[in-house]
Amino acid sequence: MTTQIKIGTRESQLAVWQATHVQNLLKETGVDSELIFIKSEGDLNTVTPLYELGVQGIFTKTLDAALLSKRIDIAVHSMKDVPTQLAKGIRQAAVLKRASYKDILVYKGEWAMVNNELATTHHSPLTIHHSPFIIATSSIRRKAQWLHRYPNHTIESLRGNVNTRLRKLEANDWNGVIFAAAGLERINLRPENSIELDWMVPAPAQGAITISCRADDNVTFGSCRPLNDETTFICTKIERDFLRTLFGGCSTPISALAVVENDDIIFKGNICSVDGTKRFDIEKKTALNGSSNLGNDAAAELLKNEDVKKIIQDIRNAKE
Buried b (16+ CB within 10 A) or exposed e, 219-254: ebbebbeebbbeebbbbbbbbbbbbbbbbbbbbbbb
Using DSSP bridges, classify how beta strands 103-107 and 279-287 pair: parallel, antiparallel or unpaired.
unpaired
81 is catalytic: yes
| Cα–Cα distances in angstroms (integers) from residue 94 to residues 36, 91, 233, 237, 283, in the given order | 19, 9, 8, 12, 27
Q: What is the DSSP letter of 86?
A: P
User: Which entry of 43, 64, 73, 81 is annotated as an active-site residue?
Assistant: 81
Contact 89, 50 (CB under 8 A): yes
- Integer Cα distance of 141 and 255 in angstroms: 7
Alpha helix (H) ranges present in 109-264? 111-120, 140-149, 162-171, 181-186, 218-224, 230-246
Contact 240, 112 (CB under 8 A): no
- Strands of the chain, DSSP E: 5-9, 33-37, 74-78, 90-95, 103-107, 134-137, 154-157, 176-180, 194-196, 209-214, 254-261, 264-272, 279-287
Query: What amino acid positions are annotated as catalytic residues?
Result: 81
